[in-house]
Chain A
Amino acid sequence: MLYWSLKTLFSEPVRLMVSALAVAVSFILVIFFSAVFEGESDQMVVYLEKMDADVWVMQKGVSNMHMASSMVWDWKADKIAQIAGVREVAAILYLNGPVKIGGKDWFSYIMGISPEYSRTGPWDMAEGESMPNPGEAVIPKVIAKLTGVQIGDEITLIDRTLRIVGFSRNTFSMASSVVFVSKKDLGDLLEASDQFSYMMVYAEPGVDGQALTERIKDEINKVNALTSDVLIESDWQLAVQMGAEIIHMMTIIGTLLATLIVAFTAYSLIARKKQELAIAKALGFGNGQIYLAALSQSVVVTVLGLLFALLISFTFLAWLPTVAPQINLAVRLHQFTSIAIVTLPVAILASLSAARTVTKVDPMAVFHH
């Protein structure tokens, strides 16, 4: 019976492909939601990653950059630089808020940077200057593409108008892009000219980052120090927590959709072969054997759908950002394995609808001439 079920399925390859593709679409939807979410989450910590610091120092009680505010006296940067094991210190003033570009508000990480800490600026420039002077700003290239602004156009940060002098790459996120302004402008706006928000500490070779955080906290008052890994993980988790419910709901919707499509596919496969199932019943096959045949068809369609989803996800979805740069996608294997884990229950659940049809197949149908 299993042989019949597989041979029947593969004897109509076009129908099988269409069914598997329909299932694949629902899986791709789930993978897409997850990839967008993870892509956005990755982008939220991109600045922390690109700075490649060993330790981050911030105001005591603060342990994030995302959705956080931190103020540390600027003289503490010099004191940290003198601590044993510290090779270099860089610092930024930081604000999380909207920037009006091309008539639209873009929620951004606004980095106030200064030439003395040049490494705190954009790491990949598309066009123009990378270090903004007072009255200037460097914005993501993607925003320029989306809004049509050019170098020399103006943006608004709170009540201050700044001129665009450069476009950076890999700094755009739908939730929070990175905009660079001068430390002086941001200091004036925040009335914090003698303060920094975060300091990046680069250790001497061979110095343990964790030990260095302890030393900094011991020697400098009212600061918190975290290794880069801890801060990135903490920010990433915060981003995930904020979007977890939405992505969870999207995953449920996608999975339900997948279940419905697999159920419909399984049902239509069974409905189309009702006469042959009636023959099988008349010849002595039981409901259990016929149901297993129906289940095997659902499993095959689902697994094929999964493989299509894998193929399409890792090609089409990976290619999508090149034509739609505003979409940050992170397509990863674990998204596929999560889908794979729900595949079997989905197939079994979906084939239950077919099982009901199987029990209703009348073996007397064999006498219809």
Chain B
Amino acid sequence: MMTEIILQANNLSKCFGSGVSEVRAVNGVSLNIKRGEMVLIMGPSGSGKTTLLSMLGALLSPTSGQIVIDGIDLSSMKAAALAALRARKIGFVFQAFNLLEALNVEENILFPAQLSAEGMLGAKGRLNELLERLELTTRCKALPNTLSGGEKQRVAIARALINRPPIILADEPTGNLDSHKGQEVMMILHDIARDDGCAVLMVTHDPRVEEIADRVLWLEDGALRDRKSEQHSWVKDPVCGMRVDEWTASVTTEYNDKKFVFCSTRCLSRFNAQPERYLDQTKQRMPG
């Protein structure tokens, strides 16, 4: 069953506005995602990645085209049915974590469980398993404002998994994390796809994820394009030394008429604070 297609999009388009002000954010995208597959959607800012993810997550109706999730065609479904489908079939992981402030770790994870078929009672057993797996057992009573970024994202992942959805949609899940925590989160998502058979569809700017992804879809001007590995342009982050694809990187700066590329805004901030410190040790371009 691991090759079964769980998410299917056919000729998907989304337009905002009308007439001369019409913007076609997504233009004729078709894709198939199988169970257990980890797929990345990459592309420059404003390329339509989040719009595409929103449509695939049943949060936004397409202007045209068809989405099928686990054999269910979303086209004719009403808002309430779409909400029920999101609760049972899709787990969301967001860049901003989006935890509920007043609820502790345990309560945040269990929050969507009341919408599941097995209910809260069934979810309790699953909760302990997820707490252990995501190393949150000791933090289960902590409130979100006392958690680190990495812990918050692990809670968000546990919440996404509590109803055993076949699909996980992740929007820049490492965007607010440092490279170490980001790596940890990516590996968790990778394990979810491999071990649980979930389809993980991730929008990211983080080129490191490419190494563990099964497929990378390149979205540009609202349409999927081929991007060959030769098109990578690997450079080294002058602060942390991590390999970064210059072509897709969104965190860049110019100093002394030279362009520098960073893995995260955290490294950029450090560079801006003391550029001279990092210039001496920098050999920017790496062999591809």
Residues on A facing B (Cβ under 8 Å): 1, 3-4, 7-8, 11, 275-276, 279-288, 363-364, 366-369
Among A11, A276, A366, max chain B CB count under 10 A is at A366
Q: Give the interface segment out of B29-37, B107-115, B206-214.
A: B107-115
Q: Could you list some 30 contacts between A and B, CB below 8 A?
A: A1-B114, A4-B100, A4-B102, A4-B107, A4-B111, A7-B103, A7-B107, A279-B98, A280-B100, A280-B111, A281-B83, A282-B57, A282-B59, A282-B98, A283-B111, A284-B83, A284-B84, A284-B88, A285-B87, A287-B80, A288-B80, A364-B54, A366-B59, A366-B98, A367-B94, A367-B171, A368-B96, A369-B95, A369-B172, A369-B175
The reply to whether B112 and A283 contact each other, CB–CB distance below 8 Å, is yes
Whether B60 sits at the interface, judged by CB under 8 Å, is yes
Whether B132 sits at the interface, judged by CB under 8 Å, is no
- A283 — which chain B residues lie within 8 A by C-beta? 86-87, 92, 111-112, 115, 159
The reply to whether B112 and A284 contact each other, CB–CB distance below 8 Å, is yes
Write the B105-128 contact mask toward A (1 if CB under 8 angstroms, else 0): 001000110110000000000000
Whether B101 sits at the interface, judged by CB under 8 Å, is yes
- B101 — which chain A residues lie within 8 A by C-beta? 8, 11, 276
Majority secondary structure, A binding face:
helix
* Chain B proximity of A291: nearest CB distance (Å): 13
Q: Bound complex: CA of A363 vs CA of B96, how far in Å?
A: 14
Q: How large is the interface on B (under 10, 10 to 19, 20 to 34, 35 or more residues)?
A: 20 to 34
- A1 — which chain B residues lie within 8 A by C-beta? 114
Whether B50 sits at the interface, judged by CB under 8 Å, is yes
* Chain B proximity of A5: nearest CB distance (Å): 9
Q: Bound complex: CA of A359 vs CA of B79, how far in Å?
A: 11
- B114 — which chain A residues lie within 8 A by C-beta? 1
Q: Bound complex: CA of A279 vs CA of B86, how far in Å?
A: 12
* Chain B proximity of A271: nearest CB distance (Å): 15
B103 is contacted by which of A4, A288, A369 (Cβ under 8 Å)? Answer: A4
- B53 — which chain A residues lie within 8 A by C-beta? 367
The reply to whether A364 and B59 contact each other, CB–CB distance below 8 Å, is yes
- A280 — which chain B residues lie within 8 A by C-beta? 100, 111
- B115 — which chain A residues lie within 8 A by C-beta? 283-285
The reply to whether A286 and B80 contact each other, CB–CB distance below 8 Å, is yes
* 8 closest A-B pairs by CB: A284-B87, A11-B102, A284-B86, A8-B102, A7-B102, A283-B112, A279-B98, A286-B83
Among B80, B98, B101, B171, max chain A CB count under 10 A is at B98
Known: A275-B98, A285-B83, A369-B172. 11 other contacts (CB 8 A): A1-B114, A4-B102, A280-B100, A284-B86, A284-B87, A286-B80, A363-B59, A364-B59, A364-B60, A366-B94, A369-B96
